[in-house]
Amino acid sequence: MTDQTTPLLDIRGLVTEFSTETGVVRAVKGVDLTIGQGETVALVGESGSGKSVTSLSVMRLIQKGVGAITGGEMLFRTRSGQIVDLVQQPENAMRAIRGNEIGMIFQEPMTSLNPTQKVGAQIAEAARLHQNLTRKQAWARAVEMLALVEIPDPARRADVYPHQMSGGMRQRVMIAMALACNPALLIADEPTTALDVTVQLQILELMRRLQREIGMGILFITHNLGVVAEVADRVAVMYGGRIVETAPVRELFAHPSHPYTRGLLDSLPVVDHAARASGQELRLRAIPGSVVDPRNPPQGCDFNPRCAWVIPECRAAVPALLPVVPEHRARCIRWNEVHG
């Protein structure tokens, strides 16, 4: 069960900024997020909403000289029970945490894997670095992990280069690398994007099984609400660099209380068998407009230019995350009218 009193990760007021030719862009604006041991939290939103920047901030992988964490704290509970602020950790301490206590599945396996090194060697390197294994033991661990993510003939596949594998296989290699050291927290950035539906289900079940076995917390970043319904305990919806709604997964799907969340759910295709039988076309409902430009955000609520519920007060100030019901909050002054 999730231990809500001592979160595995407690993000408070996280701010991440990037320097551009036109000035400083704030990509993450005061994000608060907690993940408990054994809990899966889904971070949902369109491309450009700040999901991946949030995950890279947790890993402290924001490129120096380009971007920086400029505010907030990220309190992480290590395996020893010590609480450390990831924002304040020196780089040598973060190297000991990355891959060992916090694993990450990156979105693009072809750009994350070393094209000049065999996949088994890349997995083995992580195991040797963090688990003090011999070369032989680390190679055996690599083969074991490839088998765990259901790659056929893992001993032979460990001895090939990334370009010799399909996109789906490379994604499985990334998952194997992230899980090689049995991390306490796994950050999964669109981990099933390159996989077909059948393989997606296999990978999701694999992650759930490993989570049950080692009590791993998961931050699951996705735009696929179908996957969210399948894997998440809680959902945080992100827009314009802010969390705009957070709730247990069933509560959020049943009672969306922010216009953006409602728009995302309304845009899901629904099969109307009666309409299909009569020859009517399936029409999808889209959210009007475009994702907020972080270089030129609107006044007040970031979503107000696209919102059907907008009133003048929405442009006056950024609303707070207001309580809807216990454990459900929405950043909307008209949440009671939006509430599904």
Averaged pLDDT for residues 224-239: 92
pLDDT of 305-323, one tens digit each? Answer: 999 999 999 999 999 999 9
**Sheet holding 217-222: strands in order across?**
102-105, 185-189, 217-222, 40-44, 234-239, 242-248, 328-330, 322-325
145-171: buried (b, 16+ CB within 10 Å) or exposed (e) per residue?
bbbbbebeebeebbeeebeebeebbbb
pLDDT of 17-33, one tens digit each? Answer: 999 888 899 999 999 99
**With 80 as the cut, is the pLDDT of residue 4 above it?**
no
Domains of the chain, with CATH numbers?
1-101+183-276+285-340 (3.40.50.300), 114-179 (no CATH)
Rounded percentage of the chain residues whose pLDDT exceeds 90 = 63
Q: How far apart are CA 204 and CA 207, in angstroms?
A: 5
**With 90 as the cut, is the pLDDT of residue 79 above it?**
no
Phi and psi at residue 35, in whole multiples of 5°? -135, 125
Is 170 within 8 Å of 147 (Cβ atoms)? no
| Res 5: pLDDT | 67
pLDDT of 129-163, one tens digit each? Answer: 888 899 999 999 999 999 988 899 999 999 999 99
Averaged pLDDT for residues 81-87: 95
The model's pTM is 0.89
The helix/strand/coil state of 330 is strand
H-run or E-run covering 155: helix 154-157
DSSP state of 324: E
Is 243 within 8 Å of 331 (Cβ atoms)? yes
For residues 315 and 194, the model is more confident at 315
**With 80 as the cut, is the pLDDT of residue 273 above it?**
no
Averaged pLDDT for residues 100-116: 85
**With 50 as the cut, is the pLDDT of residue 54 above it?**
yes
**What is the secondary structure of 279-320 as a DSSP string?**
TPPP------S----TTSPPSSSTTGGG-TT--GGGGTSPPP
pLDDT of 91-105, one tens digit each? Answer: 999 999 998 999 998
